[in-house]
Structures are given as structure tokens and as C-alpha cells.
Amino acid sequence: MSVTGDIANRHMLPASGLADASKSDMVSVRVVVDDVWARSISGQLLASCLINLLCRQVGLISRIEIVAAPAPTLISLPGVAEPEPFPACLARLARWAVQDRITIAIGATDAEFDYKVVVGGAGADHSAARHELVAIGDGWRAWLGEPLRAPKHVSAGSKNPLGPFFAATLAAGEIFKRSRGILRGRYLVAAGYSLWSGLSSDEWERLENGPELAGLSLPPTHIAGGGAVGNGLAYIIAYAQFADAYVIPIDDDSYDDTNLNRCVLAGWDDQEDNKVDAIARMLHATNVAVFPFAGSIKEYVTDPKNGLRSDIAAKVNQLEFDIVVSCVDKGTSRQDIQGLWPNLLLGGSTLDLQAKANLYGAWPGAACLGACAGNDEHGCFRCGWPEKDHGFTLSSLRA
């Protein structure tokens, strides 16, 4: 496929709080993986997610070097079907994502670089960089900051992708902020987060860990929207190692070149393909049951849904939904999702460069996904939720 569009379209746009992208200098990044972490699931999750995010910053990053001791690859990687030792597999991951738009090198070279990110500890690389960061993620915990503030001797023993992935996003985001330039906010020097408790601390020991996800069951889950948020959620589910899971991604849109900077399960050859296809491919590769639907929510509800698990199909035909995750920002789509009246409704959004996850409930006074004016004990001010149908009319679908 010959596509010559601009992968940098989205992250180079003017945005409140960010400096003028035209004044940004291209930077180089060296990622160093501590030897112990290179042989762990947490370390490989963090490093692979970091490379997956960094290589998509076309127009800001020109070169990425990956320094790590060879080790067996312990995880599946998007776009890398055949087994290849770590860290060589990371170069293949980057080429799959953006082809040759960013130069990727395995092993240290004599080239100068602007940023160094050490995964898991001090590492064996003692070269200097203009900015150095340490990224640590294990279990439900993530930490990013400068080497002198970094926690010492953190073990990597969890299979949970949440902490490693969050640490990777913090590191990639920090390099983005520093290379693009910020007009408000701050750079991170010592920031730790517990995704289990929701609390933060610059001290690793104060961050509360949670239970392992591996071996648990994820009830059938509808994911409405296959863009950046839907990709990210599927990315986590793929690595969670649930004993049982069934995912139904729904989207009627296809990828273009501007999606490649943020849709982490889509590669260069996925352009012009439906968004749910890349999600389904990754879930299949990690043994997660999936029923991709290339259409809208309205089309899904009325479609025969041939191949959907029979018990789920029976519920959907009765307009009964257990878990629905909204990964869309459009008002009409959000109203359609709200109109499903699921037992559990979650919403994720990246509007205005803010990452948010919200819980929406079917109780009086609960927030409304359909972006209504407000609510009180009688429901939503504008639509009357939950007292009347919201979004598309459920009674007409039943008829």
C-alpha cells in the first residue's frame, strides 16, 4: 500500500497549553531496559508499550535506540506474529506501526541523543543525555521521574499490564511535552501513582498495590468505539490474562494515516481497514474471545449478529446489556450508547488532551453520557433519563 499522508497530523495541531509545534526541534531517544526487568513480564510490557507510543510521535522524534540484554520474549506484540527475541522484537513493532518514519536501532551507538528513559532501574548504560527519566511500572503501580529521585531495587513480579502501561504513557507523554514545549502545567520529576487506590506519591512504598488480574473473569463487554480509547482498552484486556473474557468491539469507521499516532493496535497496513479488525486481531492473538462488529450501535442492535455467542445474542435481542464501555466523543453516538440502558456503563474520553474515565449509573441524579444539561433526583434535565427513553427510541426497536 502506498500512503503518503501525515501521521503527525493530530499531535502537531495547535492546542491550549502547548507551544507552537513549528518551533519544536526533532529529538532522539534512548530506551535502556534494566537486565532484570528485560527478563520480566512487567519490564517487557513497559518497554513495548513505550516503543509503541514513541515511534508514533512522527515529526517530533527522529530516532529511537533500544538498549537491553537479549532475553526470551514473554509477551505477544501487536503486528509481530512470529516469535523474535527481546529486544529485537521492539524494532519490528515500530516498523509495523509506522514503517520507516522514525529510525530504530537496537543496541547503543555513538550517536548523541536528547532523552534517555531507563526502564526499571539504573540499567547498564551510563551515557549522558540532556534529560534522563526512570520509568517503573508493576502491578497497579507506576512511577516516573528523574534518576536521583527514583525508587531503588523495585522488583518486577506481576503480570498486570496496568502499572507498566501507565508508566509507559507517562514517559511517552513527558517526552512529548518536553519536545513540543508546554505553556502551562509542569514537567514530572518524581511522580508515582496507584491505579488501585487512586492516590499518588513520589515514594514507591506508599503506593498501594492491588490484586492480580490474571485468572479472573471479565463478563461479556461491549466496547463502543474502536479509536484511540477503544484501542487502549483492548490493549489492556489483551494482556490481562483473564481466565475468561468475551469482548464485542463496535465501530463503523476505518483507520487513516492520522489515526496511527494514537491507535496502538493499528499499524501501517491497517489503513483503510475497519477499526474493529485490528482490535480483534490482537485479542485473538492473546486468546481473548471476540466478536467484532463493523457497524454502528443502531446497526448492531438490529443486526442478526451471526456468530455472536448465543447467550449474549439472546440478551441483546431483548435489549439487555450488562457492561458497555463508551469510547466515543461524538454526541449522537454517546446518546445512542446511553439509550442501551446497560447495567454498568463506563465512558472514556480524550477531549482537549485530557484522559478521563467515568462511571455512569441508572439511578436518579446520575451523570448522563449523552452530554445533557444536568440532572437532579428526577433524572436528566434535558432528556428525563432515567424516566424516559434516551437517545434512539428503544420502543421502536422492540417493535
- Domain check: are 192 and 252 in the same one? no
Lowest mean pLDDT among 183-187, 230-234, 265-269: 183-187
Report which of residues 350 and 90 the model is more confident about.
90
Q: With cut-offs at 50, 70 and 90, classify the pLDDT of residue 357.
A: confident
State the average pLDDT over residues 216-238: 96
Residue 223 cell numbers, joined = 466496547
The three grid cell numbers given for residue 297, joined into one nine-digit string: 450501535
C-alpha cell at 177: 511535552
Radius of gyration of the CA atoms of the chain, in A:
22
Q: Please indicate, yes or no, if residue 265 is contained in any of the structural domains.
A: yes
Give the pLDDT of residue 378.
44
Task: Say whether both 254 and 344 belong to one domain.
Answer: yes
Q: Is the same domain home to 198 and 285?
A: no
Q: Would you place residue 82 in the very low, low, confident or very high pLDDT band (cuts 50, 70, 90)?
A: confident
Residue 117 belongs to what domain range? 26-206
Last residue of a domain, one of 177, 206, 235: 206
Nearest C-alpha neighbor of 238 from the set 293, 280, 269: 280
The last residue of a domain, from among 206, 225, 254? 206
Cα–Cα distance for residue pair 83/86, rounded to 1 Å: 9
CA 23 – CA 39 distance, rounded (Å): 40
Residues 134, 35, single domain; the answer is yes
Q: With cut-offs at 50, 70 and 90, classify the pLDDT of residue 122.
A: low
* 126 part of a folded domain: yes
**Which cell goes with 321?**
446489556
**167 in a domain, yes or no?**
yes
CA distance 238 to 137: 17
- Does residue 190 sit in the same domain as residue 265? no
318: Cβ–Cβ under 8 A, 6 or more apart, which residues?
none
Residue 77 dihedral angles phi and psi, to the nearest 5°: -125, 140
Check whether residue 62 and residue 112 sit in a common domain: yes
pLDDT of residue 125: 63
pLDDT at position 334? 79
Of 210 and 393, the structure prediction assigns the larger pLDDT to 210
- Shared domain for 190 and 81, answered yes or no, is yes
In CATH, what number is assigned to the domain containing residue 232? 3.40.50.720
Residues 106 and 147 in one domain: yes
Mean pLDDT over the full length of the chain: 88
pLDDT at 256: 92
Q: Residue 275 domain-assigned?
A: yes
Higher pLDDT, 382 or 185: 185
245 and 171 co-located in one domain: no
Sort 209 into a burial class: Cβ within 10 Å, 0-12 / 13-18 / 19+. Answer: middle
Domain-embedded: residue 212: no
Q: Identify the H or E element spanning 396.
A: helix 394-398
- For residues 299 and 72, what is the distance between their CA atoms, to the nearest angstrom? 44
The confidence band for 164, taking pLDDT boundaries of 50, 70 and 90, is: very high
One domain for residues 225 and 194: no
- The three cell numbers locating residue 104: 530504530
The whole-angstrom separation of Cα 206 and Cα 146 is 18
326 pairs with which residues across the strands? 224, 347
Buried b (16+ CB within 10 A) or exposed e, 287-311: ebebbbbbbbbeebbeeebeebeee
pTM of this structure? 0.90
Q: Could you give the number of structural domains in the chain?
A: 2
Q: What percent of the chain has pLDDT over 90?
A: 69
Q: Is 313 exposed, middle or buried (0-12, 13-18, 19+ CB in 10 A)?
A: middle
Pairing of strands 131-138, 141-145: antiparallel
pLDDT of 111: 84
User: Residue 377: pLDDT above 50?
Assistant: no
Q: Is the CB of residue 61 less than 8 Å from the CB of residue 28?
A: yes
Residue 12 lies in a domain: no
Q: Which of 159, 185, 206 is the last residue of a domain?
A: 206
The residue ranking higher by pLDDT, 68 or 353, is 68
Which of 282 and 349 is assigned the larger pLDDT? Answer: 282
Task: Report d(CA 201, CA 207) in Å as an integer.
Answer: 7
**Does 330 fall in a domain?**
yes
Would 79 be classed as within a structural domain? yes
Query: Could you read off the pLDDT of 305-331 as tens digits, one per residue?
Result: 999 999 999 999 999 999 999 998 777
Are 38 and 179 contained in the same domain?
A: yes
Predicted confidence (pLDDT) at residue 286 exceeds the cutoff of 60: yes
Please state the rounded mean pLDDT for residues 284-310. 96
Residue count of the chain, please give it: 399
> Does 381 lie in the same domain as 303?
yes
Sign of CA dihedral 248, 254, 257, 259: negative
